[in-house]
């Protein structure tokens, strides 16, 4: 009887204990699953591998866009052991980057970005150093006329060189990608180095080609995997090519800095590098302590501005010309408007307000090209509750710009080239809030005003002089609009004819 009694008590105590544990776990689970603490949803992954077998790294933005339709505007995927939160749709991306700019304003410094900048410069840095370098860059570039009359004169001069380059082909088919890249590069070179380069200059060619290759390789599947499994780096050819490109690029920029340093004149500030060096001298002369104006920040800031100032603008221009050849009726209307409003004189920036259709075509080209589909990844700077989900400090965040520029709730025909997206019923240009190719918030492109001016002046100047058509024997239907996927989306190399207009 005593044995049975003890057993009953033991069983009862065990049951009570187990029941108590169950209640505690239930309460903890409810607490953990409360709106403040629950993690964003997402596809179930495998241990260690995560969702790597469920995502297409060759066109990640489209894959994530499709997943957003299943899991909502805030969801997460796992790349190996690393969780990434994806923000999809105009309203969600704007809310995060603008309304929660502080929480989502830090840059994700993944392994390949660390190789690029070592934590210095502007694009791939954080903290007070980033704030100071970005502030200095904005102030200095504005002093040199970024987005204003001074930079307009530089661009218009470069337009003439680019037109001369196109004229050499006398209407025969050619690949215009290099010439466009060199022309755009010369605009940022004038601001960085105080000079332009001849298109045949081997230094210009090497710098542009290296940056193009690096940007393409950075978006490759092998480099994306490297970012999550860094020890693989030395075994990957793409990694080795990028490391070599970065080192060669730094050597070229260091040489330019040294040349300008030798001829530095306190009474004549010729370019961004001069401005940096003179500002540093001023701080030293006034015994003002600043740990940010050192050689590495100068080196990487110049490299960042040169690469970003060349690739994105040149790539957008290449898309614009391809769209003109692909949609000849659109090209006709742009050229008719240019002839009617501007005539044969050089287009000026102030003409833009009187060229609504041309402006709409440029904006639609930006939207459709979608050259930075995931922007540059962000990271949560602190724990944040966002749209009912808990996002932990340090979590990588992808603002999915594809989902903004192709948002079906914002655009009438998101997957078609339709300049009417930016025109009202009277044919006047209208701005659209969901037009966000330059991203938004603290990390928005600092060269946006310069890029807008360049694309407008280069494109209109070219269309005044040339009609762009496919190669002989190639129909407009044969022109391929599928992008060449890298870190940015570029048009596939295709020959076009630049036929001189009479």
**Annotation-wise, does 445 bind a ligand?**
yes
CA dist 373 and 371 (Å) reads: 6
CA dihedral of residues 111, 117, 122, 125 (deg, nearest 10): 40
Retrieve residue 406's tokens.
């192709």
Residue found by looking up tokens 């048009």 in the block? 491
DSSP letters, 273-325, are HHHHHHHHHHHHHTT---SS-SHHHHHHHHHHHHHHHHHHHHHHHHHHHHHHH
SS3 at position 329: helix
In Å, what is the CA distance from 395 to each residue of 76, 116, 445? 10, 21, 22
| Residue 381: both structure tokens together | 């700077």
Element (H, E) at 140: helix 127-143
- Distance in angstroms (rounded) separating the CA atoms of residues 234 and 14: 56
CA dihedral sign of residues 187, 495, 373, 211: negative
Characterize the bridge pairing of strands 389-391 and 396-399.
Answer: unpaired
Q: How many residues does the chain have?
A: 502
Say if residues 493 and 482 touch (Cβ distance below 8 Å): no
| Burial of 376: CB neighbours in 10 Å, binned 0-12, 13-18, 19+ | middle
Dihedral-angle region of residue 448 (phi above 0 means left; psi in -120 to 50 means alpha; beta otherwise): alpha
C-beta of residue 464 within 8 angstroms of C-beta of residue 162:
no
Annotated binding residues for heme: 445
Q: Which residues are annotated as a binding site?
A: 445
């Amino acid at each position: 009887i005593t044995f049975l009694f003890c057993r009953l008590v033991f069983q009862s105590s065990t049951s009570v204990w187990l029941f108590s544990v169950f209640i505690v776990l239930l309460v903890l689970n409810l607490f953990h699953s409360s709106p403040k603490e629950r993690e964003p949803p997402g596809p179930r992954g495998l241990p260690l591998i995560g969702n790597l077998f469920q995502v297409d790294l060759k066109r990640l933005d489209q894959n994530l866009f499709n997943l957003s339709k299943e899991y909502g505007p805030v969801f997460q995927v796992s790349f190996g052991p690393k969780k990434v939160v994806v923000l999809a749709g105009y309203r969600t991306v704007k809310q995060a980057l603008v309304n929660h700019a502080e929480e989502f304003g830090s840059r994700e410094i993944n392994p390949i970005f660390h190789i690029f900048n070592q934590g210095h410069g502007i694009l791939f840095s954080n903290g007070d150093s980033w704030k100071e370098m970005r502030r200095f860059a904005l102030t200095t570039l504005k002093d040199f006329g970024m987005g204003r009359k001074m930079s307009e004169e530089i661009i218009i001069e470069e337009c003439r060189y680019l037109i001369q380059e196109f004229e050499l082909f006398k209407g025969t088919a050619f690949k215009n990608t290099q010439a466009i890249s060199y022309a755009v590069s010369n605009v940022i070179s004038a601001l960085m180095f105080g000079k332009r380069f001849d298109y045949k200059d081997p230094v210009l060619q090497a710098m542009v080609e290296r940056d193009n290759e690096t940007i393409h390789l950075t978006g490759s599947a092998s480099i994306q995997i490297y970012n999550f499994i860094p020890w693989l780096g030395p075994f990957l050819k793409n990694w080795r090519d990028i490391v070599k490109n970065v080192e060669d690029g730094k050597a070229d920029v260091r040489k330019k800095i040294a040349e300008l340093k030798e001829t530095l004149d306190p009474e004549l500030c010729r370019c961004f590098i001069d401005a940096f060096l003179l500002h540093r001298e001023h701080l030293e002369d006034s015994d003002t302590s600043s740990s940010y104006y050192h050689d590495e920040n100068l080196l990487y800031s110049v490299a960042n501005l040169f690469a970003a100032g060349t690739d994105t603008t040149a790539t957008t221009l290449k898309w614009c010309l391809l769209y003109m050849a692909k949609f000849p009726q659109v090209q006709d209307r742009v050229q008719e408007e240019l002839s009617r409003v501007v005539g044969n004189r050089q287009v000026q920036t102030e003409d833009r307000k009187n060229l609504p259709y041309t402006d709409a075509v440029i904006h639609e080209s930006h939207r459709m090209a979608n050259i930075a589909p995931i922007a540059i990844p962000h990271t949560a700077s602190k724990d944040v509750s966002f749209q009912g989900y808990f996002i932990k400090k340090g979590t990588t965040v992808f603002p999915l710009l594809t989902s903004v520029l192709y948002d079906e709730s914002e655009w009438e025909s998101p997957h078609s080239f339709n300049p009417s997206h930016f025109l009202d019923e009277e044919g006047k240009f209208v701005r659209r809030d969901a037009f966000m190719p330059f991203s938004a918030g603290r990390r928005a492109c600092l060269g946006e005003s310069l890029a807008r001016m360049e694309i407008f002046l280069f494109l209109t100047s070219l269309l005044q002089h040339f009609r762009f058509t496919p190669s002989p024997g190639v129909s407009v239907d044969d022109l391929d609009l599928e992008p060449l996927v890298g870190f940015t989306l570029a048009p596939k190399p295709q020959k076009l004819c630049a036929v001189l207009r009479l």
